[in-house]
Amino acid sequence: MTFAPPPCKDCTYRYIGCHSGCQTWQDWKAADDARKAEMNRTKKAEAVFQSAQYEKSTRYQQRMHNNITRGRPSW
């Protein structure tokens, strides 16, 4: 997903407070909000995967530490 710049730059109809009545802005804002929502869903899904990987790595590191400190082979 790529960022689309707001349509306000170089707009000839631009004035202070025009966002409330500008259909072009409202369409862009709706598309931008949908893009952000999709990115948040993707980030949450990745966070679950990364959490599982972190827990797996932590358990492995703890087991290796315990094996080393207790004089066991580390494999």
Over the stretch 31-63, which tens digit does the pLDDT of each residue have? 999 999 999 999 988 888 888 888 888 888 888
pLDDT above 90 coverage of the chain, percent = 28
Cα–Cα dist 38/44, whole Å = 10
Cα–Cα dist 36/42, whole Å = 10
* 28 confidence band (pLDDT: 50, 70, 90): very high
- pLDDT, residue 75, reads 62
Residue-averaged pLDDT of the chain: 86
Average pLDDT over residues 9-34: 89
Give domain status of residue 65, yes or no: yes
Give domain status of residue 24, yes or no: no
Q: How many domains does the chain have?
A: 1
Residue 52, amino acid:
A
Domain that holds residue 51: 44-70
